[in-house]
Amino acid sequence: MEHVEVFKALSNKARLQILQWLKDPTKNFPAEGCCENGVCVGQIQLKMGVTQSTASEYLSLLQRTGLLTVTRQGQWTYYKRNEDAIRELGKLILEDL
Amino acid sequence: MEHVEVFKALSNKARLQILQWLKDPTKNFPAEGCCENGVCVGQIQLKMGVTQSTASEYLSLLQRTGLLTVTRQGQWTYYKRNEDAIRELGKLILEDL
DNA sequence: CAAAGGTATCGGAAAATAGCGATTTTATCA
DNA sequence: TGATAAAATCGCTATTTTCCGATACCTTTG
């Protein structure tokens, strides 16, 4: 994944918002949508106020860039922040941008 | 300037390249295009291989987001990296993203 | 003041992205 | 198996971005 792609993923208010919400899943989402692997698509969609397809596409984009991790569990897909990748990005900007 | 705008500015290969080149002006540009205030538009345009208008617009976009500083000097406009802003962005990602 | 050089801005065509509804896929459960 | 539920993918239009050529704006110099 090129850095350009990561910055593209971040250049959208809704996607930045998702990353913020996922900093504290239990505070921002009902418990039944959360597990140790993150938050399911449906709950994020509800909170975003967009269609299911839009939420799904945003989440999978963030995952493709590495900013989120994804875990399928039964019929649910849980997305979670990838703190390592976020830290790497911060370091990259400090050291290489 | 919202963070989204900074990320938009960074989600373009040519603009990221400009930031890289400006890390070492004298290495990447002929001395006559450089001064302590940065590198003039014309030299950056030549190196980018785009039209003058495109170079000018990319540079002023990077300046509007705060990533570059601009100094007019006679008939030349010099652009320079804003290291403070870049450091702030790195810290922002590490601490708040 | 006129000419020339460097830069900025404007207007537009082509390409990319946003976000939706419809459909398909995958998993559960009776 | 069929019904149902969650999520992914597809197809589409509207909007935004990209990048250009033309033009306008400054500044220097004759």
> How far apart (Å, rounded) are the C-alpha atoms in residues B80 and B70?
7
Indicate if the pLDDT at residue A17 is higher than 60.
Answer: yes
Q: Does the CB of B40 fall within 7 Å of any strand C atom? A: yes
Residue numbers of the domain that contains B58: 3-96
pLDDT 10s digits, A20-78:
999 999 999 999 999 999 999 999 999 999 999 999 999 999 999 999 999 999 999 99
**A35-54 residues labelled b (16+ CB within 10 A) or e (exposed):** eebbbbbebbbebbeeeeee
**Cβ-Cβ contacts under 8 Å, A91 against chain B:** 90, 94
* Strand D lies under 7 A from the Cβ of residue B5: no
Count of structural domains within chain A:
1
CATH number for B21: 1.10.10.10
Q: Mind listing the pLDDT tens digit for each residue in B43-76? A: 999 999 999 999 999 999 999 999 999 999 999 9
| pLDDT of amino acid A1 | 57
